[in-house]
């Protein structure tokens, strides 16, 4: 959700009877970006409308240059480049129509998550390198690579925007519009600061700064714009590991350090030549990181060739130990960052800048990284009056252009006089040069010089600092308080929401630019307001298996907490009975949800009915909820119809479990064997084997002769008797 402190007049307007402006998305130094509807093709597009002051600054020249660069960008087709669909001029305002990417910028991602581990950082920089490779192959240089120009779609696609537009806006245009150097100073290569030619290697430098910020979470240089520009020209970007160690983080692999240092060399000749070479190195580094390679000197040498290491013992630990480095690269520092006293003057006659092709310092000059280069010697010349046409204040960006327009090299060398112009042509020819008017002329000249100096001073103050104001600190404020703070400072503020686990909903998390940054009066501040922690709807997990419930919570960005088990007569064993959060309620992400899982019905205690009536035991067990099975076995010890044994006879069982009873059918009956005529011993053996007890009696107790044979049994043969009964044999 975006809330703007002011209403944009273009919202609701239709450009060229085709593009209906729906919403303002962002406002930058050159243009404002809108979400729009293409009424002809029925699609959503992004429309970038240039600021009015840019067109006023350069007139039709800007429109022609803008048209030319927009056409060049439109010819660039690559999956990692935001497509340019159309361009035109509506009511004097140049605009371009681009592909609309639903998502966020790399700046948003850095604000939320940086620093990134090397694998993530390289995966984010690889599409940027691919886009630059395609552009450089087509002869197009971006000139303003920065996180704000890298768009990340909701589906993960990464695309680079604004190809060609940095060139369309010349240094003069940017100076008039914003009072800054072309591009974003934090990512500006030294050669652009020094006003020399920018090429593909300039994009490599800016990309290296972006990679440094991804790895460390901060930019290599901070401060006023002029201070940052000076650092780009005179200091070497430190290795990311040096910054990470200082901030208490683990270092990155040495070859990743080497890649950053190679990209951010101040001498363009010592950087990767173009986007294709950068892409190759990024992919090699990413493959090494993915393979778990921590340090690799040979790969570091590929990233940062030995021939580039003049005056800097990087391989011995310079960049990784935090030691001060000495860089011997030539410094090409233009007059525009040598001090605020140089922002408003014409060329100084006799100085090194008044000769065609001269530079502020010799190319061979070598300076320590922590030293400020010496100012060029003064020749003692001071202005004594105003020129015939007053010069407009000149910004740092305009300085070399201004020299080319006003310096003495405008005339052929043979026409130049060694005498200063002020001595060849009277400043005020209408004043007679005689003793009567000499004093008056001196007074008038002095007054005019003072007035001119005041005008120049005030103009210089306004161009360099007067029209700027510090960004108020809004972090921790409510939206209403932030709007009030912005209005008091003469600024406007727009809001977008972001989830935060640490900041209360409705409170400002961050601003762009950050507090204390100098921006033009009436500029807009983009603020991020906390929407509180991100919440998700609690899924209904009751009745699901524990495994299915766990997956449902993970899918809802929640976690499984404690799992307890309970008996339930209604929920099947293994299924979820309840959860600690009610289904449908909004729950903060990653909240641990406790689950109660069923163990099935409560178990029932088993009572032992051994020796009891079988009918009684069966009835009692069935009333308790068990299933009862029975079988009969003869028993001489257990009464008929009573329980001989029970399985199980104790413990606990679930309802419906089986209990088995063995019921006595009484003693087993056996037929008395026929043992007649057998010897007494044989008869005893047979009867005992049949389970009987044997008692012997003689038919005639007094007989003198005995045959020792069985005459009969009692009971008689074939009589059914229970085992263990006594059978009497009668012996003759």
CATH code at 497? Answer: 3.30.10.20
173 and 270 part of one domain:
yes
Domain count across the chain: 6
According to the model, what pLDDT value does residue 62 have?
64
Quote the pTM value: 0.45
According to the model, what pLDDT value does residue 333 have?
34
Q: Which residues of the chain have pLDDT under 50?
A: 1-6, 166, 168-182, 307-437
Strand intervals (E) in 339-387: none
Residue 309 covered by a domain: no
Contact between 354 and 410 under an 8 Å Cβ cutoff? The reply is: no
Angle between the N-to-C axes of helices 118-137 and 275-290, in degrees from 0 to 180, rounded to the nearest 10: 160
Residue in 453, 433, 451, 454 with CA at minimum distance from that of residue 442: 433
Residue 389 covered by a domain: no
Contact between 397 and 175 under an 8 Å Cβ cutoff? The reply is: yes
What is the DSSP track for 537-605?
EPP--TTSBHHHHHHHHHHTT-EEEEEEEE--SSS-TTBEEEESS-TT-EEETTPEEEEEEE--SPPEE
Residue 549 covered by a domain: yes
72 and 117 part of one domain:
no
Q: Single out the residue in 266, 285, 304 at which a domain terminates.
A: 304
141 and 278 part of one domain:
yes
Q: Is 90 a catalytic residue?
A: no
Half-sphere CA count of 544, side-chain side, radius 13 A:
15
Dist. CA 591–CA 367, nearest whole Å: 57
594 and 686 part of one domain:
no
Domain interval for residue 569: 535-598
Contact between 58 and 173 under an 8 Å Cβ cutoff? The reply is: yes
Residue 270 covered by a domain: yes
Query: What CATH number does residue 89 fall under?
Result: 3.30.200.20
Q: Single out the residue in 492, 507, 530 at which a domain terminates.
A: 530
201 and 120 part of one domain:
yes
Strand intervals (E) in 692-732: 693-698, 710-714, 720-722, 726-731
Work out the burial of residue 445: count CB atoms within 10 Å of its CB; fewer than 13 is exposed, 13-18 middle, 19 or more buried: middle
Signed CA dihedral, 271, 274, 277, 283: sign only: positive
Q: What is the largest CA-CA distance in the chain?
A: 201
Contact between 340 and 464 under an 8 Å Cβ cutoff? The reply is: yes
Neighbours of 645 (CB within 10 A): 18
496 and 562 part of one domain:
no
378-405 residue pLDDT tens: 333 333 333 333 333 333 333 233 333 3
Residue 339 covered by a domain: no
Dist. CA 408–CA 355, nearest whole Å: 8
Dist. CA 87–CA 68, nearest whole Å: 10
94 and 190 part of one domain:
no
Q: Is 400 helix (H, G, I), strand (E, B) or coil?
A: helix
Contact between 723 and 668 under an 8 Å Cβ cutoff? The reply is: yes
Q: Measure the CA dihedral 105/108/111/113, to 10°.
A: -90
Residue in 615, 617, 732 with CA at minimum distance from that of residue 678: 732
620 and 656 part of one domain:
yes
Neighbours of 579 (CB within 10 A): 23
39 and 107 part of one domain:
no
Q: Single out the residue in 304, 334, 353 at which a domain terminates.
A: 304
Beta partners for 162?
none
The CA-CA-CA angle for residues 287, 292, 297, to 5°, reads 80
Signed CA dihedral, 458, 230, 181, 33: sign only: negative
Catalytic position from the list 55, 78, 144, 274: 144
Residue 562 covered by a domain: yes
According to the model, what pLDDT value does residue 695 have?
92
Residue 411 covered by a domain: no
Contact between 312 and 325 under an 8 Å Cβ cutoff? The reply is: yes
Q: Is 150 helix (H, G, I), strand (E, B) or coil?
A: strand
475 and 554 part of one domain:
no
According to the model, what pLDDT value does residue 353 have?
34
Sheet holding 93-99, edge to edge: 14-15, 19-27, 31-38, 43-50, 93-99, 84-90
Dist. CA 720–CA 276, nearest whole Å: 111
171 and 270 part of one domain:
yes
Work out the burial of residue 732: count CB atoms within 10 Å of its CB; fewer than 13 is exposed, 13-18 middle, 19 or more buried: middle
513 and 641 part of one domain:
no
Signed CA dihedral, 78, 81, 84, 85: sign only: positive
Dist. CA 144–CA 166, nearest whole Å: 6
Rama region for 162: left / alpha / beta (φ>0; ψ in -120 to 50; rest)? left
Neighbours of 409 (CB within 10 A): 16
Residue 427 covered by a domain: no
């Amino acid at each position: 959700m975006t809330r703007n402190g002011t209403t944009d007049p273009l919202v609701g307007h239709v450009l060229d009877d085709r593009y209906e402006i729906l919403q303002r998305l962002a406002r930058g130094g050159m243009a404002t970006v809108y979400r729009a509807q293409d009424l002809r093709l029925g699609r959503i597009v992004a429309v970038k409308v240039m600021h009015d002051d840019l067109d006023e600054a350069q007139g039709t020249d800007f429109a022609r240059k803008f048209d030319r660069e927009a056409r060049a960008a439109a010819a660039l087709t690559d999956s990692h480049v935001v497509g340019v669909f159309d361009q035109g001029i509506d009511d004097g305002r140049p605009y371009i129509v681009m592909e609309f990417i639903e998502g966020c910028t790399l700046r948003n991602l850095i604000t939320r998550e940086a620093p990134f581990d090397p694998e993530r950082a390289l995966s984010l920089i690889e599409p940027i390198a691919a886009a630059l490779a395609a552009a450089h192959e087509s002869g197009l240089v971006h000139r303003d690579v920065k996180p704000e120009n890298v768009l990340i779609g909701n589906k993960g696609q990464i695309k680079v925007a604004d190809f060609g537009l940095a060139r369309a806006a010349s240094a003069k245009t940017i100076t008039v519009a914003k009072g800054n150097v072309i591009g974003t100073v934090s990512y500006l290569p030294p050669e652009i600061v020094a006003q020399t030619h920018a090429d593909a290697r300039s994009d490599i430098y800016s990309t290296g700064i972006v990679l440094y910020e991804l790895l460390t979470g901060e930019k290599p240089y901070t401060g006023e714009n002029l201070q940052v520009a000076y650092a780009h020209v005179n200091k070497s970007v430190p290795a990311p590991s040096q910054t990470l160690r200082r901030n208490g983080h683990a270092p990155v692999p040495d070859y990743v350090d080497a890649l950053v240092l190679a990209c951010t060399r101040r001498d363009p000749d010592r950087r990767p030549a173009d986007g294709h070479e950068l892409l190759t190195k990024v992919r090699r580094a990413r493959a090494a990181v993915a393979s778990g390679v921590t340090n690799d000197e040979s790969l570091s040498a590929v990233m940062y060739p030995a021939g580039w290491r003049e005056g800097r013992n990087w391989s011995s630990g310079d960049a990784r130990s935090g030691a001060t480095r000495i860089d011997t690269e030539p410094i090409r520092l233009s007059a525009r960052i040598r001090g605020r006293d140089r922002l408003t003057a014409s060329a100084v006659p006799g100085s090194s800048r008044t000769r065609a092709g001269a530079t502020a310092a010799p190319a061979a000059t070598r300076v320590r990284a922590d030293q400020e280069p010496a100012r060029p010697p003064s020749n003692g010349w001071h202005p004594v009056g105003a020129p015939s046409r007053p010069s407009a204040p000149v910004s740092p960006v305009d300085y070399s252009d201004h020299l080319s327009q006003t310096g003495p090299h405008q005339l052929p060398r043979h026409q130049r006089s060694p005498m200063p112009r002020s001595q060849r042509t009277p400043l005020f020819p209408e004043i007679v040069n005689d003793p009567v008017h000499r004093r008056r002329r001196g007074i008038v000249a002095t007054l005019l010089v003072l007035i001119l100096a005041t005008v120049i001073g005030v103009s210089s103050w306004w161009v360099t600092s007067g029209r700027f104001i510090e960004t108020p600190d809004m972090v921790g404020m409510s939206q209403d308080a932030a709007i009030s703070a912005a209005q008091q400072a003469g600024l406007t503020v727009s809001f977008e929401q972001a989830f935060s686990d640490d900041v209360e909903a409705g409170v400002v998390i961050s601003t762009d630019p950050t507090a204390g940054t100098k921006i033009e009066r009436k500029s807009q501040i983009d603020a991020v307001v906390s929407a509180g922690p991100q919440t998700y709807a609690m899924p209904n997990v009751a009745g699901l298996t524990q495994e299915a419930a766990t997956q449902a919570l993970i899918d809802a960005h929640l976690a499984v907490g404690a799992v307890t088990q309970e008996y339930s007569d209604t929920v099947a064993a293994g299924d979820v009975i309840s959860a600690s959060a009610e289904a449908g309620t909004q729950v903060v992400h990653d909240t641990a949800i406790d689950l109660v899982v069923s163990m099935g019905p409560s178990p029932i205690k088993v009572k032992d009915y051994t020796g009891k009536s079988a009918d009684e035991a069966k009835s009692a067990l069935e009333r308790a909820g068990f299933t009862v099975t029975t079988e009969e076995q003869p028993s001489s010890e257990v009464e008929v119809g009573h329980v001989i044994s029970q399985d199980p006879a104790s413990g606990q069982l679930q309802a419906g479990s089986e209990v088995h009873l063995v019921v006595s059918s009484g003693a087993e009956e056996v037929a008395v064997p026929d043992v007649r005529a057998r010897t007494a011993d044989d008869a005893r053996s047979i009867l005992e084997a049949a389970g009987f007890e044997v008692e012997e009696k003689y038919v005639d107790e007094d007989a003198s002769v005995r045959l020792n044979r069985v005459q009969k049994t009692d009971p008689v043969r074939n009589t059914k008797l229970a085992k263990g009964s006594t059978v009497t044999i009668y012996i003759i």
